[in-house]
């Protein structure tokens, strides 16, 4: 359960409303949050003034009446603070160099720090109470809306230490993040992006343009880019190995301190996920590795290679002539059509978002790069894009709209303390939209070459979000088990483990390049233990749900799905998915997805054969 009413990440920055913001249909209207600086200041003052009141409850959580009043007070403060945070972040992301923002940043961050310090007593004090008291409050009339929260407290109580021990762990906890900080300094600060000379030109290779280089039709160019890029990481591999070892060691130590058997068990417990889900994911995907091997072999034939190397995995098999551009108006029309299986109300809400400035679409100087969806409980969602009119970006819009609609429906149905979503379920809402969009686009393809292009996109999406993430998860499990046994992690050991996994996952048609051994070094998610597996389970769950939606003519599957989007964190992720119609603890959803993967490869093979390319 995501306890956003107690703990949430705050990014605070405020910019002057006198700054001119381009007024087009495809920019945010931040007046939907605050119409003036005066309104912002009013909420700021409210939060500041309420902190002493919040603090006054410390040491007094002895009866349900007092706890109920505390929860009510805390929610008022947290909701205002969430709005302040959202407004400040969005202003910052529109213009990173706004001078007025710098003035407000220190002020609001101080407020955030004061809030965090003030509210820190709540959960430890509740956890220190007898089990019988928590059970009683869980079933009491005045606290019944928090019943699930108390259930979670009871679950965590078995892993809660004495007050002094908890205080000690809290003081030591910042040290656990230092390994990741050092890693980022090494990979961003000390690391220099490499350059290569080709055709008399100097090309700088960054994380952003490296994948584009791997899509280049000239194999010599791809190979040189790959070798240049990966070789450049040799200079920091020993530092990265040391930081990863330190991070994993901290995970295992904290897990044991809290009476978990392993870091994996602790990470899964934090999300209320049974270990069976993780084990089932790895075993099922391992059984279906021949499907991925078949695709790699098809690439080998289509590209007329003796073996597929790492730098051959991303080059499109379709002609570049079919690559289309999608002006924003066209993208909007496609998305509204593609999402029709989710019902009229869903589509109308999406259309409303397009026409009421929920999206800031185009890149501009000083604007945040990338894309995201974010909202507060008391606002509509805001979607940031840097739209380049590509198919990938159309799918990105659909993806972020899935997150946005998840928030809209949840906030309509759930109280504040059950709003938000766990990562395990949040990606279901976004990838479901991608499945529906690709299904629609594939049906609209007019030529074999168009279909081949889309099949390539869909196959590589599954390869990246399922097979690759499971390979990452298997690597994580191996390094955690190694450290859990008291063994170390050296760069040489990590390189060897990575190469063996690459060979296992990609099969006999794949040639392992020695430079690829450093792939583990490029995955910052390994510093957030057992995070990446959720991408794979979400993809399988959303595929199963959209499959049911398309096949069910009664509309009941769609209704169940919309109820799932409205559920927030009112239950554990597994029961929420089960109510929607998918049992992710079973191999069935994964096998259904991988059977679909097989069908896509078969269809691609047929088109390539028809074209005489194989």
Go through the chain and tell me how many residues it has: 614
* Beta pairing class for 359-360 and 195-198: unpaired
What span, in angstroms and rounded, lies between the C-alpha atoms of 222 and 228? 10
Alpha-carbon separation of residue 285 from 168, 276, 281 (angstroms): 41, 14, 6
Q: How far is CA 220 from the centre of its chain?
A: 34
Contacts with 126 (C-beta within 8 Å, 6 or more apart), sequence order: 61, 67, 134, 153
> Residue written as tokens 């912002």?
40
DSSP H or E stretch at residue 424: helix 423-444
> Distance from CA of residue 109 to its chain's centroid?
25
Residues 6+ apart with CB under 8 A from 321: 449
Say whether 132 is catalytic.
no
Beta carbons of 10 and 85 less than 8 angstroms apart: yes
Give φ, ψ of 35 to 5 degrees. -80, -15
372: enclosing H helix or E strand: strand 372-374
H or E segment and range at residue 559: helix 556-565
Q: Closest Cα to residue 512, out of 325, 296, 327?
A: 296
Beta bridge partners of 195: 204
Contacts of 521 (CB under 8 A, 6+ apart): 187, 233, 236, 237, 240
Q: Which residue blocks in 463-518 are alpha helix, DSSP H?
A: 468-484, 491-506
82, 125, 180, 400: the catalytic one is: 400
- 425 touches 409 (CB < 8 A): no
CA angle at residue 418 from 345 to 177, to 5 degrees? 120
Q: In a 10 Å sphere around its CB, with 0-12 CB exposed, 13-18 middle and 19+ buried, how is residue 154 labelled?
A: middle
Alpha carbon 45 to chain centroid, angstroms: 33
CA of 297: how far to CAs of 211, 215, 393, 591, in Å?
21, 18, 29, 21
Angstrom distance (rounded) from CA 137 to CA 132: 9
**Residues forming the active site:** 400
């Amino acid at each position: 359960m995501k306890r956003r009413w107690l703990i949430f990440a705050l990014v605070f920055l405020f910019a002057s409303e006198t700054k001119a913001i381009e007024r087009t249909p495809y920019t945010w209207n931040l007046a939907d949050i605050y119409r003036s600086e005066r309104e912002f200041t009013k909420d700021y003052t409210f939060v500041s003034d309420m902190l002493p009141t919040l603090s006054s409850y410390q040491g007094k959580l002895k009866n349900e009446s007092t706890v109920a009043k505390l929860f009510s007070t805390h929610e008022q403060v947290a909701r205002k603070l969430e709005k302040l945070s959202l407004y400040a972040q969005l202003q910052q992301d529109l213009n990173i160099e706004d001078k007025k923002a710098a003035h407000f940043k220190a002020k609001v961050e101080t407020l955030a720090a004061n809030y965090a310090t003030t509210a820190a007593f709540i959960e430890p004090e509740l956890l220190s109470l007898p089990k019988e008291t928590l059970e009683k409050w869980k079933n009491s009339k005045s606290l019944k809306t928090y019943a699930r929260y108390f259930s979670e407290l009871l679950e965590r109580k078995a892993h809660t230490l004495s007050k002094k021990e908890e205080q000690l762990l809290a003081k030591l906890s910042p040290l656990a993040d230092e390994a990741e900080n050092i890693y980022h300094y090494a990979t961003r600060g000390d690391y220099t992006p490499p350059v290569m000379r080709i055709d008399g030109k100097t090309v700088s290779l960054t994380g952003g343009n490296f994948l584009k280089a791997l899509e280049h039709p000239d194999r010599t160019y791809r190979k040189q880019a790959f070798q240049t890029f990966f070789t450049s990481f040799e200079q920091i591999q020993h530092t990265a190995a040391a930081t990863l070892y330190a991070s994993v060691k901290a995970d295992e130590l904290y897990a044991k301190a809290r009476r978990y058997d392993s870091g994996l068990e602790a990470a899964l417990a934090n999300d209320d996920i049974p270990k069976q889900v993780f084990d089932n994911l790895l075993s099922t995907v391992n059984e279906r590795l021949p499907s991925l091997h078949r695709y790699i072999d098809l690439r080998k034939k289509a590209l007329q290679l003796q073996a597929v190397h790492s730098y051959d995995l991303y080059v499109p098999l379709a002609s570049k002539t079919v690559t289309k551009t999608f002006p924003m108006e066209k993208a909007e029309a496609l998305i509204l059509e593609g999402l029709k299986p989710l019902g009229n109300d869903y589509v109308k809400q999406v259309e409303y978002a397009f026409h009421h400035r929920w999206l800031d679409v185009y890149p501009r100087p000083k604007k945040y790069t990338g894309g995201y969806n974010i909202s507060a409980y008391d606002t509509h969602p805001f979607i940031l894009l840097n739209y380049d009119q590509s198919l990938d970006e159309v799918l990105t819009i659909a993806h972020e709209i899935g997150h946005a609609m998840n928030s809209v429906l949840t906030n309509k149905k759930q109280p504040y303390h059950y709003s938000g979503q766990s990562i395990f379920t949040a990606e279901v809402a976004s990838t479901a939209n991608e499945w529906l969009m690709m299904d629609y686009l594939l049906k609209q393809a007019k030529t074999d070459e168009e279909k081949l292009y889309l099949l390539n996109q869909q196959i590589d999406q599954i390869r990246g979000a399922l097979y690759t993430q499971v390979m990452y998860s298997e690597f994580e499990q191996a390094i955690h088990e190694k450290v859990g046994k008291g063994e170390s992690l050296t760069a040489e050991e990590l390189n060897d483990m990575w190469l063996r996994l690459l060979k296992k996952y990609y099969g006999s048609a794949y040639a392992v390049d020695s430079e690829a051994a450093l792939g583990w070094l490029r995955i910052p998610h390994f510093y957030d233990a057992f995070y990446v597996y959720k991408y794979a389970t979400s993809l399988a769950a959303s595929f199963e749900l959209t499959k049911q939606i398309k096949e069910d003519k009664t509309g009941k599957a769609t209704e169940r799905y919309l109820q799932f989007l409205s559920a927030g964190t009112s239950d554990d992720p597994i029961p929420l998915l089960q109510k929607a119609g998918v049992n992710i603890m079973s191999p069935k959803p994964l096998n259904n997805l991988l059977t679909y993967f097989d069908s896509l490869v078969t269809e691609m093979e047929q088109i390539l054969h028809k074209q005489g390319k194989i």
